[in-house]
Structures are given as C-alpha cells and as structure tokens.
C-alpha cells in the first residue's frame, strides 16, 4: 500500500467514521504485511475483519469466490477497500455483495487508482474516476457522500488551456498531484437493500429474458 492511500483512508475515517459509534468493519482485499488499515480502524475501537482470495498476513477469511461472501446479510457497519478494485475482474458484482453484508445506513470507503503502471495481482483491469464512484453508487444502492481524484499537474494544465474554471475545480479536488497513482476516493452510505438496487434489477431482468435452454446450460 502506498503512503497516499493510508492518508486518504485516515482522512475519510476522521471525517465520516469518527463521529459514529464503533462497530464491525470488513476490508475486502486485505492481504498486507503492515496491516495499516486494520491498525487505523482498531485504534478507533472498531472490530476488524480482513478477507482476500488467498491466505496471508492480515487475512482473517479466505474467499472461495470474490463475488460470494460467507457472511449473513447486514453483518457489518462499514466496508472498505484500498487498491483492490482495479484488480477485481467484475467489481460491479462485488459491490452488490458488499451492499448485502452491510447494514442499512452503513458506510463504505474505497480507494483505487486513476492512473499508474500496470501491476498485476494477478490481474490489473481498471482505473477509476469520480464519476465511476457515482455510477457504482447508483448501481449498487448507495448514496455517494464524497468522491475525490488526485489529478496530476499534467491533467490540470491540460484542462487549464481551454477550461480554466474546470481546472480550478480539479486542483481543489486533488490532494496529491505528484502521486503516480492518482487515487480516486469514494465514500458511500447504504440507502437500498441489495435485492432492490439498480444492478440487481438488471441482473434479474437479464436472467428472466434468457431462454430456458441457455439458463440450464449456464447452471451446468
């Protein structure tokens, strides 16, 4: 985990979590020798659970399937990730599952790069911007409380040439313009159950419209 990621998580915990009573937090993609997110949340009095696809340091639960969690509905008060979403081949499905295990009104905090070199672990599939966080909120039943991207000086200078006002807004939204990763931070509040969210409605509609022969082949 790079230093900016921890700084982003600390800032969002102080802004959005510190006023809340301590509860249970799940980190998705938690494998880490330093376990810095764990220490940060546990110092606030939270009970931390870390999950990942393989065993290792800071992993409490190994997931057999990244899109199916072994916890009951509404188990956690918060769900977090840092530098996980870009490696997740179908992160939109994981978002629905994170909704399912999160209590109504619970908080999610996700940090993911908007740029940077390919870094497979074992895959490196995606980059994220503020509008991507807004789209995920709509897809999976959340209110987006905050979204920020660490735009680079090159990004800002490019926009400044033809849209100075937009460039100023980009600069205001960027905490670490020198970062090679350009982290995007999204903070969410659960407002709908997973079974009622936009994404689930589409999934169910696609399944209902699939011919019966195709459904049986897919199940097999």
* Burial group, residue 154, by CB count within 10 angstroms (0-12, 13-18, 19+): exposed
Task: Determine the pLDDT at residue 213.
Answer: 61
Task: Determine the pLDDT at residue 172.
Answer: 85
Task: Determine the pLDDT at residue 141.
Answer: 98
Q: Put residue 75 in one of left, alpha, beta given phi > 0 → left and psi -120 to 50 → alpha.
A: alpha
Q: List, in sequence order, every residue forming a beta bridge with 9; answer none if it has no partner.
A: none
105 is written with which tokens?
A: 């009104």
156 is written with which tokens?
A: 């800002």
What's the chain's Rg over C-alpha atoms? 18
Q: List, in sequence order, every residue forming a beta bridge with 52; answer none if it has no partner.
A: 62
34: how many CB neighbours lie within 10 A of its CB?
Answer: 11
Q: Is the dihedral of CA 21, 134, 126, 64 positive or negative?
A: positive
3 is written with which tokens?
A: 């230093």
19 is written with which tokens?
A: 């006023």
What is the full DSSP assignment across 123-154? -------HHHHHHHHHHHTEEEEEEEE---HH
pLDDT per residue of the chain (220 residues) written in tens, 0 to 9 = 788 999 999 999 999 999 999 999 999 999 999 999 999 999 999 999 999 999 999 999 999 999 999 999 999 999 999 999 999 999 999 999 999 999 999 999 999 999 999 999 999 999 999 999 999 999 999 999 999 999 999 999 999 999 999 999 888 878 888 889 999 999 999 999 999 999 999 999 998 888 866 655 655 5
Kindly report the CATH number assigned to the domain that includes residue 123: 3.40.50.150
Q: For the full predicted model, state whether its pTM sits above 0.75.
A: yes
Pairwise CA distance, residues 198 & 177, whole Å: 34
Task: Determine the pLDDT at residue 99.
Answer: 98
Pairwise CA distance, residues 96 & 90, whole Å: 11
In which domain, by residue range, is 161 found?
Answer: 3-219
Given a contact cutoff of 8 angstroms between Cβ atoms, the answer to whether 183 and 176 are in contact is yes
Given a contact cutoff of 8 angstroms between Cβ atoms, the answer to whether 48 and 41 are in contact is yes
Pairwise CA distance, residues 193 & 99, whole Å: 7
User: How many domains does one find in the chain?
Assistant: 1
Pairwise CA distance, residues 199 & 105, whole Å: 18
């Amino acid at each position: 985990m790079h230093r900016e990621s921890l700084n982003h998580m600390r800032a969002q915990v102080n802004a959005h979590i510190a006023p809340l009573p301590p509860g249970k937090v799940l980190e998705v993609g938690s494998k880490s020798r330093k376990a810095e997110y764990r220490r940060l949340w546990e110092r606030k009095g939270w009970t931390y659970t870390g999950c990942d696809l393989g065993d290792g340091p800071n992993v409490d639960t190994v997931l057999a399937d990244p899109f199916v969690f072994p916890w009951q509905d509404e188990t956690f008060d918060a769900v977090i990730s840092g530098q996980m979403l870009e490696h997740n081949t179908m992160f939109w499905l994981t978002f629905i599952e994170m909704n399912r295990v999160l209590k109504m009104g619970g908080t999610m905090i996700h940090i993911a790069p908007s740029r940077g070199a390919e870094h497979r672990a074992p895959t490196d599939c995606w980059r994220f911007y503020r509008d991507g966080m807004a789209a995920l909120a709509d897809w999976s039943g959340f209110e987006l409380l905050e979204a920020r991207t660490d735009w680079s000086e090159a990004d800002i200078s490019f926009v400044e040439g033809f849209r100075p006002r937009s460039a100023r807004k980009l600069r205001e939204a960027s905490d670490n313009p020198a970062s090679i990763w350009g982290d995007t931070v999204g903070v969410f509040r659960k407002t709908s159950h997973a079974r009622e969210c936009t994404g689930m409605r589409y999934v169910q509609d696609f399944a209902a419209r699939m011919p019966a022969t195709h459904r049986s082949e897919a199940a097999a």
